[in-house]
Amino acid sequence: MMDPVELSGDIQQPALVDERTSPSGRRYRTNFQLAVDRFRRQKLGMIGLVIVLILLAVAVFAPWIAPTHYTKADLMAVNLFPSREYPMGTDQIGHNYLSRVIYGIRTSYMVGFLAVILACVIGVPLGVAAGLRGGKTDFFIMRIVEIMTAFPGLLFAIFLLSVVNSGVMQRVFSNQVLNVVFVIGVTSWVGICRLTRAQMLTLREREYVEASAAMGAGKFHIAVRHLMPNAIPPLIIAITLLMPTAIFAEAGLSFLGLGINEPVPSLGKMVADSRQYIQLYWYLGLFPTLAIALTVIGFAFLGDGLRDALDPRQN
């Protein structure tokens, strides 16, 4: 009697086992892959991501997207309502309002990103030092945080701008965009610092941290190798939610006439300038307000989606 393998004419080879599969045959999935899948199920998060990416592309490619440069004006085309030639109309000087809104979005994104980076540069190291070292270092840093919290954010920003834009300081801080970035960044690091400190206090009690310390690792090595990688997800969410706050702060300061002024376009300044014409030329206030609202809503939806996606307790 012949062997069944010889009868079939085929030699059965053992199946190759993927190194990324479990003994039960199911593939292992990384935390990043699971987070991406959870984020894809967040409809509002995906909508926010699309809005942010579109506005980011508008900001980056503004010189190529805008019909004209933001300083170019046509005195023969003043206060024209939206039309095919001017989709968002023109202002009282003859600027193409579509170009002004596009460059205003670019200004808002520039201020928002740079201010958040500055806030992280200040807040993250202070939070790590306070949470990891404790003792007098923690006491000193938290007293600074309490002092910063005691000042109303807007009033403190106005005070700093008045100092930066006056006298000798104006020669040092001559760029008005960087002035606003500096003021918003200096007044926005408190939340990042508190969150980083809380993460350090929680993570430093974990077993792997104690094991690393028992093996002779220093505090700096433990912070860089073990604590910060595990503290990144909450920080990403906080940074995403801090972006609309920084953008809205720039718009508010420019609306009050204390932020970015001409000739650099700012959405907040455009809304402020439209107040005296709003009853007749409604579009002057509508389009920059919609741009601010879309920016804030996009980052808010994105932050909520990331918060749910990066939560390991979600299915």
Q: What is the mean pLDDT of residues 126-135?
A: 85
The mean pLDDT of the chain is: 80
Three-state DSSP at 21 gives strand
Q: What is the mean pLDDT of residues 1-13?
A: 45
Is the model more confident about 286 or about 158?
A: 286
The burial class, CB within 10 Å (0-12 / 13-18 / 19+), for 57 is exposed
pLDDT number for residue 9: 45
Residues linked to residue 73 through DSSP beta bridges, in sequence order: 95
Q: What is the pTM of this model?
A: 0.80
pLDDT number for residue 28: 63
Q: What is the mean pLDDT of residues 147-170?
A: 74
Percent of the chain clearing pLDDT 90 (strictly above):
16
**5, 11 Cβ separation under 8 angstroms:** yes
**239, 120 Cβ separation under 8 angstroms:** yes
Whether 205 shows a pLDDT value over 50: the answer reads yes
Residue the block writes with tokens 């292992």: 28
pLDDT band of residue 55 (cuts 50, 70, 90) is very high
Q: What is the mean pLDDT of residues 187-211?
A: 84
pLDDT-wise least confident of 33-37, 122-126, 252-256 = 33-37
Residue the block writes with tokens 């939610």: 241
pLDDT number for residue 105: 92
Question: CA-to-CA distance for 138 and 127, rounded, in angstroms?
Answer: 9
4: cis peptide before it, omega within 30°?
no
pLDDT number for residue 19: 45
pLDDT number for residue 128: 87
Whether 92 shows a pLDDT value over 70: the answer reads yes
Whether 157 shows a pLDDT value over 90: the answer reads no
Whether 64 shows a pLDDT value over 90: the answer reads yes
257 φ/ψ sector (left φ>0, alpha ψ -120 to 50, else beta): left
pLDDT band of residue 129 (cuts 50, 70, 90) is confident
Q: What are phi and psi of 187, to 5 degrees?
A: -95, 5
Whether 16 shows a pLDDT value over 60: the answer reads no
pLDDT-wise least confident of 48-52, 65-69, 94-98, 209-213 = 209-213
Q: DSSP string of 68-86? A: S-TT-B-TTS-SPPS-SSS
Q: What is the mean pLDDT of residues 67-71?
A: 88
Please choose, from the candidates 98, 70, 73, the residue with its C-alpha nearest in 3D space to the C-alpha of residue 85: 98
Whether 110 shows a pLDDT value over 60: the answer reads yes
Please choose, from the candidates 234, 265, 271, the residue with its C-alpha nearest in 3D space to the C-alpha of residue 252: 271
pLDDT band of residue 23 (cuts 50, 70, 90) is low
User: In the structure encoding, which two tokens stand for residue 124, read together?
Assistant: 């993250």
Please choose, from the candidates 32, 132, 69, 126, the residue with its C-alpha nearest in 3D space to the C-alpha of residue 264: 69
User: In the structure encoding, which two tokens stand for residue 260, read together?
Assistant: 């970015």
pLDDT band of residue 17 (cuts 50, 70, 90) is very low
**Domain 32-67+86-309 is classified in which CATH homologous superfamily?**
MetI-like (1.10.3720.10)
